[in-house]
Amino acid sequence: MYSVTKAIGQNNNIVPGDIVSLSTIHQSCHLIPHLGPNISWPSSRKSANVLDLCNSFLLNNWSSKFAYQTLW
């Protein structure tokens, strides 16, 4: 699986963003929070806040046949 990380800006840890045209989006993706080896999952991380609290994710290319073909 590919590893992706958030780009953190220099000003107050604000994540830079961009406006993306809807016609350029081909599919959604399944991200798995990546904590590293031998690190337990903190109880403060829930599905509602995990994207904000984690900085590194694994891109799951096994989530569907189409994802496997396009992300591999």
Q: What pLDDT digit, counting tens, does each position of 25-51 carry?
A: 888 888 889 887 887 888 888 889 888
> Residue 70: inside a domain, yes or no?
no
Structure tokens at 14: 């604000």
50 half-sphere exposure, CB direction, 13 A CA radius: 13
> Residue 20: inside a domain, yes or no?
yes
> Residue 69: inside a domain, yes or no?
no
> Residue 16: inside a domain, yes or no?
yes
Structure tokens at 53: 């609290």
- For 48, the domain range is 2-64
pTM of structure: 0.69
Q: Which residues contact 71 (CB under 8 A, 6 or more apart)?
A: 2, 29, 59, 61
Mean pLDDT of 58-71: 81
Question: What total number of domains does the chain contain?
Answer: 1
> Residue 50: inside a domain, yes or no?
yes
